[in-house]
Structure 1
Amino acid sequence: MFEFKMPKMGESISEATIINWLKKVGDYIEAEETLLEVATDKVDSEVPSPVSGTITEIRFQKDAIVEVGTVLALISPLTHEGGTSKIEDKKEENKNQTIQPSINRQRLSENRQPTTDNRQRITDNFLSPLIISIAQKENLSIEELQQIQGSGAEGRLQKSDVFNYLKNRKYPLKSIPQPTTYNLQPTTFPKPKINFVEGKDRIVEMDRMRKMIADHMVYSKQTSPHVTSYLEVDVTNVVNWRNENKDTFQEKYGEKLTFTPIFIEAVAKAIQDFPLINVSVDENKIIVHNDINIGMATALPTGNLIVSVVKKANKKDITSIAKEVNQLAESARNNKLKPEDIQGSTFTISNVGTFGSLMGTPIINQPEVAILALGIIKKRPEVITTEKGDEIAIRSMMFLSLSFDHRVVDGFLGGSFLKRVGDNLEQFNTSTKL
């Protein structure tokens, strides 16, 4: 029986914390396959098994603090046909092996969160602090992590999976802006006290996916000075056209006709007129994207959002966009999006009206420089001008909210672009055929 011991984690390190076991009792493991992840106050490390065999006993569970050299598990080794063990000569190797630090550990205590019951593959069960720290360092979004095929137990992401993905990553990392560092004086304002009533209030720890979302939002706000402009739009023509064509579209294509493809078409046309809204910032350079790739934020059953992308939207008719929107939304809900489905967006829209919101102040999806929020469509009495003069009529109205990066998008460009999107919606061609 092979004794698998806590390896040395470097000089002056006498103990480590078990983050996760990637195998359980009864599982077979190959030599050099990662068996567990451990952490010290300085590093996270993946610990491979030096032998092939079946795990017969695990002596310490997750979050246990174990001294170096302590037996963690027992492995029944794979043997030669003659019965001689293949790993006798590896016992001393395991006994004396030292695991090299894989990456600087950040906020260890913050990342040790309890596992939550989440149906998505990217959950506490599959995102280790090591993977999170690599993702933060390499500017990997949650959406990208979600599409990487894990080679660990039950599809779990391992360090090698992430690095292999980065080698073949198509979207250029250089175009992702880095936050500017300012020499700010530390604040002397005391941290506000949070009143906690024992027995009434409760504490809910952020899971790791929510922590990554929070970090990405903070990163965006720190990187881009956000400005939000608003516009009220009369979308009566759009509503009437959809009502007249949704049944036909359902019968012809077997799919629902939503407002989203109409919004995407209006935005793509406006970007053609104002190409400097379709850019990214790389230090002192502005990268103007030739393709117009519209990202759409889609709500998942878990409550999180994922941004799938309609590529080259300006070159597609509304029928093609509608079909693609439905396909991407369905794939997102079933966690079947491909890596290419979520990469390369140059502008994002978020339909906050889906949740009943009148308007929103969206946070820019880095490395883009603008994002458009679409509010709920509501019928209201409005004053309109007709051949007979001003009249009051019932119209379908909607608010548009454009948040933009004031480093490169000034008020004139942002306002002009927003007005063009509104004009495209108000002047929607009701004779459009599907």
Structure 2
Amino acid sequence: MAVSVTLPALGESVSEGTVTRWLKAEGERVEVDEPLLEVSTDKVDTEIPAPASGILASIKVAEDETVEVGAELAVIDDGSGAPAEAPAPAAAEAPAAQPEPTPAPVAEVPAPAAPAEEAPAAPAAGAAEGTPVVLPALGESVTEGTVTRWLKEVGDSVDVDEPLLEVSTDKVDTEIPAPVAGTLLEIVVGEDETAEVGAKLAVIGVAGAAPAAGAAPAAAAAPAPAAPVEAPAPVAQPEPTPAPAAPAPAPVQAAPAAAAPAPVQAAAPVAAPAPAAPAAPVAPVAPVAPVAPVSGAEADGAYVTPLVRKLAAENGVNLATVQGTGVGGRIRKQDVIAAAEAVKAAAAAPAAAAPAAAPKAAAVEASPLRGQTVKMTRMRKVIGENMMKALHGQAQLTSVVEVDITKIMRMRNKAKDAFAAREGVKLSPMPFFVKAAVQALKAHPVVNARINDDEGTITYHDVENIGIAVDAEKGLMTPVIKGAGDLNIAGIARKTAELAGKVRTNKISPDDMSGATFTISNTGSRGALFDTVIVPPNQVGILGIGATVKRPVVITHPELGETIAIRDMTYLALSYDHRLVDGADAARYLTTVKQLLEAAEFEAEIGL
């Protein structure tokens, strides 16, 4: 039974989604709840799991296509056999149409003098009796595809839905499954050739049919066209002697690489049929074979798709060392990602063992993206649109203060081990900044507000929902700590770790991303002293936290008076909408945050 995969509702205000990546290809096995594809909306990127176990029979929506909630994305064959029975009659009807070969010899009659050239014509006529394999529609805007790899050769047996070839388009690389079970009689479109959607790629005959045997009698019958017509009773012909010899070339088709020389010598006494046997595999498979050995892995027979090769190049993975887990030992994206993680882990061990060598290893490596033109992801487009909307719709300004957080850093170092054991999360400096920012918002609601442009009103929020900017692989995302004003340091730490983990594992939901009244961005986590951060839409303020650095600072000591000491210093940058927040408002808010951080009265909250 076919099971439909549809786009689920991903949030109250989400009506459509864009397929950003298929994690499985057509013909691959999937398990229930296994991630099947990734979908991007204007609020979140998430994975869609498989609703049932089975074979991914067809992909209805290509990558980068946008569909509405409830639309069919793919079809999974659960293995009951119902889909397989539909193509079977087509295969059964094929032999019924075989009495039609009567016109086939007519095509051979015009050129009886060239038996060597008639040999390819015979398989073509026979192939017409099988089931054609056509290039399916791979997306609304996809009109053609290029055959990158044939997974089967002429004469091979194929099963229903077994991957037959790989096709590359301008949007996706995918496998084309066999529509019926049988024998691959003919390959019409060779590797690296481009065909339009609907074009015939190959022909599959009845299971057990041997195209090699069909080609040999055609070659032998060329001098005597009457032979193919009387194929049902070849015993009375003088030609039957070569006819039994025809099965000898059949093994040549089954193993053309290793057994080709031997059958050629065996067929030499038979005269013309011997050259005819090598002529049959002259289908696109033989000439294109040299294309495969691009890497050591491919030389071993494990084909590497262009997407996998690109991913390996970006991660510095040597494909010759990767063991493929795909069909026929093919290397899949998951294999490359696992190999990349292993390389990083191996590189981290020597680095930790020999820290003295770090300065020499600090050479900057060139990125593989240099010189490339790549398509902008949907997430990057959404981020760009939101930033432009915010800049064009607000009068933005930034104010900066310097804060001494030496007490907080000492307090954190003293409590972090016991805190982690008690709360189950690490104690970073971030919860202290969030706590101070939230307390200051309660005293300065003008920074925790929203301008209602259509109504000409201002809403001062009575709740502190804090957006936390998270640097994810796909781009900056801002999950929201709801009701942060009611949480202590431990609650903020747990919620921050939970949301950041969801973002980095693609488990974040639209509800986790909505409802922020104020945003905090830790730009110093990557070493920046401070940033002029952009205020998000529908908010009037965002606080940027700079890097914490040790500097000599003039302080007032109770005994020594003014003196110079080494202190942990950081910059806080508040960007705000100047239509509502004045410079004095911003300065007052920043001063309150500074006082709370420098006082560092958080001992009770962290168990000291």
Alignment TM class, shorter chain as reference: 0.5 to 0.7
> Structure 2: which amino acid aligns with 1:362?
V
- Give the CA deviation at 1:255: 1.9
1:219 counterpart residue number: 389
1:35 aligns with one of 35, 60, 71: 60
- Give the CA deviation at 1:251: 2.1
Q: Deviations over 1:318-363 (max 9, x none)?
A: 1221222222222222222233322211100000110011111111
Change (3 A) 1:118 1:371: farther
2:561 aligns with one of 389, 395, 404: 389
1:317 counterpart residue number: 488
Change (3 A) 1:353 1:37: closer
Question: Aligned runs of 1:13-412 on 2, under 5 Å?
Answer: 24=26, 27=56, 35-36=60-61, 57-62=134-139, 63-65=141-143, 201-283=371-453, 284-300=456-472, 302=473, 304-387=475-558, 388-412=560-584
- Pick which of 20-29 and 405-414 moved more: 20-29
Between the aligned partners of 2:411 and 2:523, the Cα distance in structure 1 is 22
Q: Deviations over 1:198-234 (max 9, x none)?
A: xx94434322221221111111111111100000011
Asked if the contact 1:116/1:207 (under 8 Å) is kept, the reply is no
Between the aligned partners of 2:61 and 2:414, the Cα distance in structure 1 is 58
Asked if the contact 2:465/2:484 (under 8 Å) is kept, the reply is yes
Q: Which has more radius of gyration?
A: 2
The structure carrying a bigger helix percent of its residues is 2
- Give the CA deviation at 1:73: 9.8
Between the aligned partners of 1:118 and 1:288, the Cα distance in structure 2 is 50
3-state DSSP of counterpart to 1:390: strand
2:258 counterpart residue number: none
Greater RCO (Cα-Cα under 8 Å, separation 6 or more): 1
- How many residue pairs were aligned? 285
> Structure 1: which amino acid aligns with 2:392?
Q
Asked if the contact 1:24/1:58 (under 8 Å) is kept, the reply is no
3-state DSSP of counterpart to 1:394: strand
Q: Deviations over 1:41-89 (max 9, x none)?
A: xx9888979x9968985434454348xxx98599xxxxxxxxxxxxxxx
- CA-based RMSD of the aligned residues comes to 3.7
Between the aligned partners of 1:421 and 1:58, the Cα distance in structure 2 is 63
Q: Deviations over 1:271-316 (max 9, x none)?
A: 000011111111111122111111111122x151211111111111
Change (3 A) 1:208 1:238: same
Unaligned runs of 5+ in 2: 1-18, 28-54, 76-81, 88-132, 145-195, 201-305, 312-369
Unaligned runs of 5+ in 1: 1-18, 75-113, 120-199
Between the aligned partners of 1:202 and 1:21, the Cα distance in structure 2 is 20
> Structure 1: which amino acid aligns with 2:545?
L
Between the aligned partners of 1:246 and 1:433, the Cα distance in structure 2 is 12
3-state DSSP of counterpart to 2:507: coil
Share of identical aligned residues, percent?
A: 33
Between the aligned partners of 1:117 and 1:287, the Cα distance in structure 2 is 53
Between the aligned partners of 2:507 and 2:72, the Cα distance in structure 1 is 30
Q: Deviations over 1:1-28 (max 9, x none)?
A: xxxxxxxxxxxxxxxxxx9999957755
Between the aligned partners of 1:117 and 1:405, the Cα distance in structure 2 is 47
3-state DSSP of counterpart to 2:586: helix
Asked if the contact 1:296/1:308 (under 8 Å) is kept, the reply is yes
Between the aligned partners of 1:208 and 1:345, the Cα distance in structure 2 is 22
> Structure 2: which amino acid aligns with 1:391?
T
Between the aligned partners of 1:295 and 1:219, the Cα distance in structure 2 is 18
Between the aligned partners of 2:424 and 2:72, the Cα distance in structure 1 is 50
3-state DSSP of counterpart to 1:422: helix
Change (3 A) 1:57 1:289: farther
Asked if the contact 1:297/1:305 (under 8 Å) is kept, the reply is yes
2:339 counterpart residue number: none
Task: Say if 2:582 is the partner of 1:417.
Answer: no
- Please, what TM-score do these two structures have when normalized by structure 2? 0.42
